[in-house]
Structure 1
Amino acid sequence: MSRIRIDAVLIQAVIAGALSFAHLHDLAEAAGQDGWKAWAYPISVDLLLVAAWRRMRTTADNRAAWAWFIIALAASLGANVATAGLLDLGNVPAWLRILVAGWPALAFLGGTLLVHAPTAAPEAVPEPLPVPAPPVAPAPEPLPDMTVKRVPEPAPELPAAPPGEAVPEPAPAPAVTVPPALLDHARKLSDAHQATTGARIDSATLRARLGVPAHLADAITAQLA
């Protein structure tokens, strides 16, 4: 079984509300509002206080809410002070009767403005701008296959044999292999050279254009002949 916790602040609030309610009723009754009308005045004041307090907690611009809260608080506090013996409730002045009689219209106006006041719309967050993609560099064109096979260096010359001895014949030089891609490139250079000068390209010029060894240039020139 759960225990009922007694809150001192809640008890104090109930007592204060009951006393304020009774003071407002007594003042309204003394000002000529008899019967159920005298009981409606404390309810109207308390509802305006609650509406103003809720409006202050839910909006940023709460100047109007503070104004109506102070008006309702002044009405409640004024009734408490007036019924403490400072005012003759048997002979209420005319200005107080006018204030009590005009309070319903004033409370209705304040409650309507508090409930139907426009709420500031939240600021729209700007959408981030799209970041442009970095430019893509074009892919380099593939170079033609110009693989050059390394040709073995020529054999060193043998010293001269003494007289009377047979000189051995040198071994035949190995054939030079020219890659097809290099041969096609050399043929294009040869055709361009012949179209420009009217003569076929020689081995020295072809060697300078291709940047190949002399024996490879001679082999290419022989195949272009």
Structure 2
Amino acid sequence: MSRIRLDAVLIQAVIAGALSFSHLHDLAEAAGQDGWKAWAYPISVDLLLVAAWRRMRTHADNRAAWYWFVIALAASLGANIATAGLLDLGHVPAWLRILVAGWPALAFLGGTLLAHTPTTPEPTTSDAAPLAVPEPEPVPDITVERAPEPAPELPPASVPTPAPAAAPVSAPAVAVPPALLDHARKIADTHRATTGDRIDSATLRLRLGVPAPLADAITAQLA
């Protein structure tokens, strides 16, 4: 059989709530609110206290909750002090009767504002800082050197021999810097590991951003 563990704070809260409930009932009855109306006043004060306390615990902007919590606490504390012998309950002043009579409307206004006050929305992922885009890899400075093309040899004008067939002109030699060649080899290895094929000259030229002759020369050295 489970044991019921008594909490001293809970017991104290029950005692304080019962006494405050009784004092509010006596004050409302002395102010002319007899019958069931006198019992409704302490319930209204306690409900406003609970609503304001829950609002303070669950929302960051709780200035309004503090305002209504102080009002409900003042009503409860005022009833405790008034019924402690400082006020003649047989001759309640007119201003206190007005306060007691106007309390239901005030409590309804406070409860409505606490229940329907919009909260500040939390920032969504679209408002977050944009993701950092990695900077492209720097391309080394490339200097393209072209070898001078040899002048075609012409036969002597005095000898009327048929003109020989023109020999194919070889592509000019392009000097490839070692640093660029190493960088291109890494790109070619990555391309082979990703696609399974050797990298072609056009793809290498796009990746390096170099002229076509230099890309052809690099591709030839990578073969």
Residue 91 of structure 1 aligns to a residue whose secondary structure is coil
Q: Pick which of 116-125 and 106-115 moved more.
A: 116-125
- Greater C-alpha radius of gyration: 1
> What is residue 118 of structure 1 aligned with on the other side?
118
> What is residue 194 of structure 1 aligned with on the other side?
153
Q: Pick which of 55-64 and 30-39 moved more.
A: 55-64
Letter in 1 for 2:87: L
Residue 90 of structure 2 is aligned to residue 131 of structure 1: no
Residue 7 of structure 2 is aligned to residue 7 of structure 1: yes
Q: Which runs of 5+ in 2 are unaligned?
A: 140-148, 158-223
Residue 51 of structure 2 aligns to a residue whose secondary structure is helix
Tell me by how many angstroms 1:25 deviates.
0.2
Residue 51 of structure 2 is aligned to residue 51 of structure 1: yes
> What is residue 84 of structure 1 aligned with on the other side?
84
Compute the TM-score of the two structures, normalised by the length of structure 2. 0.61
> What is residue 180 of structure 1 aligned with on the other side?
none
CA RMSD of aligned residues (A): 2.6
Residue 119 of structure 2 aligns to a residue whose secondary structure is coil
Letter in 2 for 1:128: P
Aligned pairs, number: 148
Alignment of 1:122-161 (within 5 A): 122-124=122-124, 125-129=127-131, 131=133, 134=136
Letter in 2 for 1:48: L
Show CA shifts across 1:9-29 (max 9, x none). 211111110000000000000
Letter in 1 for 2:130: P
Q: Which runs of 5+ in 1 are unaligned?
A: 138-187, 199-225
Residue 36 of structure 2 is aligned to residue 39 of structure 1: no
Tell me by how many angstroms 1:195 deviates.
4.5
Shift of the 40–195 alpha-carbon distance from structure 1 to 2, 3 Å rule, reads farther
